[in-house]
Amino acid sequence: MDLKPYFDAVDFSAYPEKSRLNWKQTLGAVIEKNTQALNESTLAKVEVALIGLPFETLENSCVHNSVADSIRAELYQLAVPGKLNIIDLGNLKEAQSHKGNYLALRDIVDYLTEINITCLLLGGSQDFSYGVCQAFRNDKMFSFSVVDAFLDVKKGVESFQPDNYLSRIFSKQPGIFGFNLLGYQRHYVPDQLFSKTKGVGNHLGLGQLHGNPLLAEPVFRNSDFVSFDFGTLKFSETYGKQKLPNGLYSEDICQLARYAGLSTRLKVLGIFEVQEDAGLTGVNIQLAAQAAWYFLEGTIQQSRVKPEDQEGFIIHKVEVWQVETPLVFYENKENGQWWMQLQSFDNSFLYFACSEQDFIDASLNEIPEMWLKYVQKIDEILK
């Protein structure tokens, strides 16, 4: 697939003079070197590809902005987080329709993830998540997570918008294996609204994440795609477009982005709904760039051992009342990550990320909630 017609290439000449560090010491210099050396043979060695989305969707039009370029300018100035083969494909060109934009992003993500390149999307409105999800339309195990204060589903018969894009995803892909909403605020999201979602859900409210952001780590390890709505940040943190009196802190966003990067399953991270703050401080843009940086750092620090290989893991088998066979948990000796083993469709095994608390619950003769949800979903697929 020739990617060049889809993008406006990056002009790297403008960035060195803006750098706080010596340009050769920056992430931007690494990206420039890798991008300029890109060809058919070097593409196979790329690990992460940056993609700018320089517009946001309104009901009847696309509005162009400079958010993607502004994030890029800040990201390029940051230090190199470690050894990583990363390129910048540039900004997605606008198609003739909203549908065309989604299809273009779908095809790009489909192609890149097929050759094991992780996509990092910068800017744009969150409805572009629909295009990303369409790239996984034939994957029975596809799961995605959204970090948002709201659950963006239709409340009535309103037209397709960034604040109801999830309804289209669930309509077009009703067989989604898993969907998780993180950072939502209960006064905006009544429990009954979750009935409009699909798939196995491990939803975490704002209060839960504030108290223990590590809860998100296994959720992201079970996700193919994570979609960040920067509007979920507390207004006093970044002067975000939602103007929320409560919300995630800047440290939360960076920590969550790092956890997303640690996921060996994750194929796409989208940093959406970033607002330029009318020249006040530029803090929104800086934070988006730093979140992207921590995602890249997490990617570099991924554990390369897999539970299916068994080596490097402590295997725990737990007898639980009313369950015929023992529950099997895998504990990573290197980093303390936990996994649960379940029977797959063809009598092989599936492995789902979990927390140590799931193992503790099983040890206390309690069936872990997520274990039960996964078993029920697998049975549903088999029928």
Domains of the chain with bracketed CATH: 4-300 (3.40.800.10), 307-382 (no CATH)
Q: What is the pLDDT along the chain (383 residues), one digit of tens a residue?
A: 999 999 999 999 888 777 788 888 999 999 999 999 999 889 999 999 999 999 988 776 788 899 999 999 999 999 999 999 999 999 999 999 889 999 999 999 999 999 999 999 999 999 999 999 999 999 999 999 999 999 999 887 677 888 999 999 999 999 999 999 999 999 999 999 999 999 999 999 999 998 799 999 999 999 999 999 999 999 888 776 778 999 999 999 999 999 999 999 999 999 999 988 655 568 899 999 999 999 999 999 999 899 998 899 999 999 999 899 999 999 999 999 999 999 876 778 999 999 999 999 999 999 999 999 999 999 888 77
Q: What is the pLDDT of residue 282?
A: 84
pLDDT of residue 381: 86
pTM above 0.75, yes or no: yes
Letter string b/e over residues 267-284, b meaning 16 or more CB atoms within 10 A of that residue's CB: bbbbbbbbbbeeeeeeeb
pLDDT at 18: 72
Cβ(112)–Cβ(254) below 8 Å? no
User: Across-strand partners of 187?
Assistant: none
What letter would DSSP give residue 301?
T
Helices (H), 151-234: 165-172, 206-211, 216-221
SS (H, E, C) 57-123: ECCCCEEECCHHHHHHHHHHCCECCCCCCEEEEEEECCCCCHHHHHHHHHHHHHHHHHCCCEEEEEC
Look up tokens 């960040």; give the residue. Answer: 228
Reference 234, options 191, 271, 283, 194; nearest CA is: 283
